[in-house]
Amino acid sequence: MGKKILLVSPKTPNTFWSFKHAIKFISKKALHPPLGLITVAAMLPIQWKKKLIDLNIEQLKDKHIKWADYVFISAMEIQKKSTREIINRCKKMGVKIVVGGPLFTASYSEYIDCVDHIFLNEVEDTIHDFLYDLKNKCTKQIYKVQEFPNIENSPVPSFKLLNFKRYASMSIQYSRGCPFACEFCNITTLFGHKVRTKNQAQILAELEKLYGLGWKGDVFIVDDNFIGNKERLKNNILPSIIKWVKRNKKPFAFSTEASINLSDDKVLMKMMVQAGFTSVFVGIETPDEESLAECNKHQNKNINLEKAVERIQQAGLEVTGGFIVGFDNDKESIFQKQIDFIRNTKIVVAMVGLLNAPRGTPLYNRLIKENRLLQNITGNNTDCTLNFIPKMERTTLIDGYKKIINELYAAEHYYKRVKNFLQAHKNKICKGTPKIKWCYFKAFFKTLFVLGIKDKGRKYYWKLFFWALFKQPRSFPEAIIYAVYGYHFRKIFAV
């Protein structure tokens, strides 16, 4: 008899990357769907009944839990509070609980007494053991992979479980793992240094599935370093994507994450643009060479980071950047250095966070040895919390961080940076969506009221509005999009 499986994605707090204040303008509930859960759903027997509840777009009701034989939960650290609430409700109602994902892999001992089954690390190999044991009534509590699985065996996610109308973007994954070893990063802890990739057929099958289900718009490739295997990208994957998007009249606008060495490869950048990529997130972290050496960010050392960013932008890819303050080698001058770097490179979406040490990272282990670790991370490095004792005086660090945020995201400074970016990259970078939708017209009129009348930064909105409309009309849609982003950032940072 087939099982009834309820897949539950916990609620994510409103953060920098949630864009919740922004996506409300286009009547969306969440930026991205829970890709991990719908991938697991595709690994379960086809005859089993499956339902997905994403707490970021809808409520989890008692009737949903009562319906299920098993509740599957996947979570990250930032979803810890919501995850506990879900587990407690399921336990109270006597429904079996299966969990996995980064939160449980990093801290499974905290959940050993309250869930039935825990999957540690990736599940492609161990899910079959679980299903076999379930059939033979001999299931274990912990299922742990011994080797990093070959993700060419990973199925096309069950996109059909999603309510497309609630999401601003879809997600797919091409690779796992990263060849680098940044001290503060837990990616290699979770996925290893060897870059494992899906093959051409898999990627095209996922694009076909999304397209066949009616999706047209943004697609985020969730890889932590999309260019970890450049040769395979250039020789196999990107050529096939380029052909596919041309054949289907460019239905998607792609974005992803990449290391700064993308800037060294003109051919790769050109191919990404041809394939429909519009932006890349780059972990720049800091312009300070000593701090880069401290955190083992060697790929960013001994290069002109400003020129590297410029090369990527000139190729036609918007750079969104990640920056960190709080390294042991940081001096008080770092705050102005970060501000100057972001202004000079005209990076509009610059996520500046305080250094934190995720469990299992080299930084976490070093801080334990130095007796400087205070607590686990919250998963949100923009909330002014630290989980360790910094070398810089804590008040100085927090005040300096707040100075950066104010200089970047107060309306006057933010709108000026948007204008400078659009002027510098006229006709090179386009964030326009592949298909005009009614919700974008509604969003535009909403900006006139919310940003042009209600918002305290309204005079700067109108300056950008009329400048773009009359001086650089081809950039007008991007100007409005960035204005909406800025509204979200000001809400998050309360500036």
Q: Convert the pLDDT of each residue in 308-344 to its tens digit.
A: 999 999 999 999 999 999 999 999 999 999 999 999 9
For the chain, give every domain's residue range: 4-144, 168-409, 438-493
How large is the average pLDDT for residues 374-379?
89
Alpha helix stretches (DSSP H) within 228-333: 230-232, 238-247, 266-275, 289-294, 305-314
Q: Is the pLDDT of residue 116 over 60?
A: yes
Q: Convert the pLDDT of each residue in 228-256 to its tens digit.
A: 999 999 999 999 999 999 999 999 999 99
Q: Under a CB-based contact definition with an 8 Å cutoff, are residues 325 and 286 in contact?
A: yes
Number of H helices, E strands in the chain: 20, 14
The full DSSP string for 313-327 is HHTT-EEEEEEEE--
Q: Is the pLDDT of residue 19 over 70?
A: yes
Same fold for the domain at 4-144 and the one at 168-409?
Answer: no
How large is the average pLDDT for residues 408-430?
91
Q: Convert the pLDDT of each residue in 463-477 to its tens digit.
A: 999 999 999 999 999
Q: Does domain 168-409 have CATH number 3.20.20.70?
A: yes
pLDDT band at 438 (very low <50, low <70, confident <90, very high): low
Model confidence pTM above 0.85 = yes
d(CA 185, CA 187): 6
Q: Is the pLDDT of residue 435 over 90?
A: no
Mean pLDDT of the chain: 95
With 0-12 CB in 10 A as exposed, 13-18 as middle and 19+ as buried, what is 4? middle
Per-residue pLDDT at 433 = 46
Q: Output DSSP code: residue 388.
A: B
Contact residues for 201 (Cβ-Cβ < 8 A; gap 6+): none
Per-residue pLDDT at 434 = 46
Superfamily of domain 4-144: Cobalamin-binding domain (3.40.50.280)
Return the minimum-mean-pLDDT range out of 85-94, 144-153, 332-341.
144-153
The full DSSP string for 131-192 is HHHHHTT---SEEE-SS---GGGPPPP-GGGS-GGGBSEEEE--EE--S---TT--HHHHH-
